[in-house]
Amino acid sequence: MTRKRKVGQAILPGHRSDPTGTDRLERGAMRRFIPIMRAATKAYQDALDKIPARPIAVNQRYEFRLDQGLLMQLLTQAGAVLDDLLFDRYGSTWLFDDYVRPAAERGARQAQQNLSRQASIPMADLINTDPYRLRMALVRAREFEEMQGLSAGIKADLSRILTEGIGRGLNPRDIARNLNAQTDISIFRAHRIARTEIPNALRTARMEEDEQIMEDYGIRTMQMHFSALSPTTRASHAARHGGLFTIEQQQNWWSDGANSINCRCVSISLLVDADNKPLDPAIVERAKRIKQTVEARRG
């Protein structure tokens, strides 16, 4: 008779409503985005103020006295204000340095602690491993591209509002109000990036570190999906709670459509046998009971 291997208990999230544990980081990034988006709007309003305009009698329109060279110069200067607030001179972003990187580091360490407890194996110094440094470099490059996309989108929207207003001969005050109205949209887009990229960095780091540990120590694992189960949780996310999946299945699911956007779910690596059955099935039952309790409270 084969004796079942004794394992330590997997580490479940400390806060059920915030399984990734990144809420504080996300809120910090969101707060930081607000003055930046307002400054971007003001830069385009300042550009508008530099364009001479006078009312004309026909249809209460305004005539703006500028040429293409002046317009492009003003738009470039306004756009540079936003870029200076998003990027540093070293090709990085404050979002990565202060929020995404700490989330990724936390996720990798969580993966180590979780599997170290279950398998009773020592772990290498995370920061000094080549695979880890490579993964962090890839995350940094991804976040740089993400912020470039955000910057380009905001500059395109503000430039369009400014140039369309000029082309239609609108009152400069009306153009300024239209620019200001765009601020909330810019903030919303920035906040969605914070709410998506920070927890995604933690989730990805956990799974990538799990994969590295499996390779290094020859252990078998499966990923247990753990959902926040909040009132705003999508049904498709809650349905996966307590389910076991491969790392590839989890990665594919999060990369599909909008699954990763504003998602608070996380993956927990569990040791399994040759048939991919958890060596500690009680932890899966515990996760499922959490879901049953939440659903019962809601009636």
List the pLDDT tens digit at each of the 299 positions of the chain.
344 557 899 999 988 889 999 999 999 999 999 999 999 999 999 999 999 999 987 778 999 998 889 999 999 999 999 999 999 877 789 999 999 999 999 999 999 999 999 998 887 776 678 888 999 999 999 999 999 999 999 999 999 999 999 999 999 999 999 999 999 999 999 999 999 999 999 999 999 999 999 998 999 999 999 999 999 999 999 999 999 999 999 999 999 999 999 999 999 999 999 999 999 999 999 999 999 998 888 76
Q: How many CA atoms lie within 13 A of 152 on its CB side?
A: 6
Local structure of residue 42 (DSSP, 8 states): H
**Assigned token pair, 243:** 């389910």
Q: Rounded to an integer, what distance in angstroms lies between the CA atom of residue 130 and that of residue 57? A: 70
Taking CA atoms, 143 is separated from 34, 134, 197, in Å, by: 18, 14, 8
Residue 53, H or E segment: strand 53-55
**Contact in structure between 298 and 288 (CB atoms under 8 Å):** no
**Residue keyed to tokens 């580490």:** 11
Local structure of residue 98 (DSSP, 8 states): I
pLDDT on residue 277: 95
What phi and psi values does residue 252 have, to the nearest 5 degrees? -65, -40
Q: Rounded to an integer, what distance in angstroms lies between the CA atom of residue 171 and that of residue 127? A: 57
Residue 265, H or E segment: none
pLDDT on residue 1: 39
pLDDT on residue 4: 53
The separation between the first and the last C-alpha atoms of the chain, rounded to the nearest angstrom, is 46
CA nearest to 287, candidates 232, 227, 246: 227
Taking CA atoms, 132 is separated from 72, 96, 107, 135, in Å, by: 43, 16, 12, 5
